[in-house]
Amino acid sequence: MSETPMPLPCPLCHASPLTPFTEVRGRRYLRCGTCAVTVLDPAQLPTPEEERAEYGLHRNDPGDPGYRRFLAQATDPLLERLLPGAEGLDFGSGPGPAIAAMLGERGFAVRNHDPLFHPDADALARRYDFVTCTEVAEHFHHPAAGFAQLDGLLKPGGWLALMTGVLYDDAGFAGWSYIREISHVAFYRPETLAWIAGRFGWTLEMAGRNVALFRKG
């Protein structure tokens, strides 16, 4: 007689067990009943080698006007809130660190960290007036640890500019282009973002459909 598998705890809030949400093209997705995060079944998470191969298909050129316009969805509202001389970190800067270039042109010093392309332990040992995290949170295998790390990187009063595809439409999930990349494994509903803000004592402003600005208390 086979044993019933133990329910998996939510990797973000740890408050509720994950329950089946849906299956798309053989990939199983689970949902938390407390924070509403939706995640890929941990048994199907991609390996670092698979992730690196997928990232190699991206063309993130810091000089590409289209890519800059895409990132400006997060950087433009952030710039409106920064004081002169603010220093920041681009967390998950990728192979082409465009945000550091874009904000550097506006007079702000920005360091880069990316575990695959720009690992910088020294950068992670400091705290910043602002942190950008664009198209990164959906890659978190361990969202609780990821957001706790972001919290630790912020000074009191600091800003976190988070850009990720927000899951507004459960009914359209199977056809959502955002789930097609194998490295996209965690998806956040608006109530998930609100839960994250409450967990860390951050305030939350939605600066766009897929851009959340958090301010650390």
Phi, psi of 188, deg, nearest 5: -120, 125
d(CA 214, CA 161): 7
CA angle 10, 186, 179 (to 5 degrees): 140
For 170-184, the pLDDT digits (tens) are: 999 999 999 999 999
Q: Using DSSP, state whether 85 is helix, strand or coil.
A: coil
The CA distance from 114 to 93, in Å, is 5
Statement: residue 96 has pLDDT above 70? yes
The whole-number pLDDT of residue 192 equals: 98
Q: Helices (DSSP H) in the chain: which residue ranges?
A: 48-55, 65-79, 98-104, 121-124, 143-153, 190-200
Indicate yes or no: pTM above 0.85: yes
Task: Report the C-alpha gap between 76 and 215 in whole angstroms.
Answer: 16
pLDDT score at 5: 61
At 30-80, the pLDDT tens digits run 999 999 999 999 999 999 999 988 877 777 788 899 999 999 999 999 999
Amino acid at 189: R
The Cα–Cα gap between 21 and 39 comes to 9
d(CA 27, CA 88): 36
